[in-house]
Amino acid sequence: MVRRTSVVAAVLAATSLLVTAQAGAADTWCQVHFPDVSWEMAGETELLTVATAGMAEAQGLRYAEEASATVRMLEADLGSFAQLHLCVAGRQVAIESAGILPPGQSLHAVAFTEDGTVFIGPHEALFFDEASAFGLAYAALSQVAAAAGDTGYPEPLATTIGQWYLSRVAGKEELHHSQMRSGAFFTDPEGQGVAATDWTSETQPPVYPWNPQFQESPAADLIGFAVAREGTAVLRNPSNEQWRALEVAWQAALRNEALQGSGSGNEWMVGLAIALGLIGLAITVAMLDRRSRRRFKDEARLPGRRRRFSGGTGP
């Protein structure tokens, strides 16, 4: 699976790597939220600190480099924001989730939006790119909102934007666009319009836990559409009116693309009928072929036929 888009790779190559901190560095933001874990700094820039626990220095540095590339991408889109803090725990580290999740639930990842700290748990190594992209974007949006005098970025817009960065880092933008395009054909084939979402109905919570394995959503394609149409400034303007209008335009664009520009009317019915007809024809041909093969085998089993097929002579 593609783990990095060419854009992210170019950003990483063009920027300096994190300045590696001394092992056993002083207190970190990770220590504030997880005081029972021994954290060590893996690196630091003006926009990001990375601390690890229970892993080799080389692995921690690699995580720091990848997270740095994501933060540079966020800076290019969102402008300046306060420093973010990433905490990554190794597999052998025991994490106490009391006060974050109900008893008995495992903590996979969590963003502390008030101070821009993102934690990725000990069993998420396979999902690190996606988890860090979503978490850092989610925390950065909170910082953007704070700079504007708000207590948090609006929801569900914040999670959708976070999912868009996850999609970009994982190289799944085209896949998600294809999924939403297909969905638009079946959910609104006649172009009646789908009720727009209330994008600012809530506000980011101070503590946002999530499971990286289930955070991916193709609905993030809306964000790509909005940025392509309005530029990245739209990410810094969480206006419900504007985003509802963008959602309506996005749905219409998806439907028109699914219909290959055939426009409104009943053309979709013709296309669907043709598709169903082809499927029915294929099933019929398969059934006839199966019946023919079965008849051939039955005839081969008859006593008077067996010798003929084997080259013998009949009576």
**Inside any domain, residue 30:** yes
Do 188 and 293 fall into the same domain? Answer: no
Do 175 and 292 fall into the same domain? Answer: no
Helix axes 303-310, 267-301, angle to 10 degrees: 90
The answer to whether 83 touches 143, Cβ cutoff 8 Å, is: no
Do 164 and 283 fall into the same domain? Answer: no
Do 175 and 249 fall into the same domain? Answer: yes
**Inside any domain, residue 175:** yes
**Inside any domain, residue 116:** yes
pLDDT of residue 299: 54
Confidence of residue 275 (pLDDT cuts 50, 70, 90): low
What is the pTM (predicted TM-score) of this model?
Answer: 0.75
pLDDT of 45-67, one tens digit each? 999 999 999 999 999 999 999 99
Do 220 and 284 fall into the same domain? Answer: no
Do 94 and 201 fall into the same domain? Answer: yes
Judge whether residue 1 has pLDDT over 70. no
Contacts 24+ apart (CB under 8 A), 256-260: 257/181, 258/181, 258/182, 258/184, 258/185, 259/185
Confidence of residue 190 (pLDDT cuts 50, 70, 90): low
Q: Nearest to residue 34, comparing CAs of 90, 95, 83, 93?
A: 95
- Encoded tokens for 11: 């950003």
Do 230 and 105 fall into the same domain? Answer: yes
Average pLDDT, the chain: 81
The answer to whether 125 touches 224, Cβ cutoff 8 Å, is: no
**Inside any domain, residue 122:** yes
The domain that contains 91 carries what CATH number?
1.10.390
- Encoded tokens for 241: 């009116």
- Encoded tokens for 17: 């790597």
Number of structural domains the chain divides into? 2
Do 180 and 291 fall into the same domain? Answer: no
Of 84-88, 95-99, 294-298, 301-305, the poorest mean pLDDT is in 301-305
Do 201 and 233 fall into the same domain? Answer: yes
**Inside any domain, residue 263:** no
Please name the residues in contact with 242: beta carbons below 8 A apart, sequence gap of 6 or more: 234
Do 138 and 286 fall into the same domain? Answer: no
**Inside any domain, residue 311:** no
Burial status of residue 163 (CB atoms within 10 A of its CB: 0-12, 13-18, 19 or more): buried
Its domain, for residue 101, covers: 6-258
**Integer Cα distance of 228 and 194 in angstroms:** 22
Do 223 and 283 fall into the same domain? Answer: no
**Inside any domain, residue 304:** no
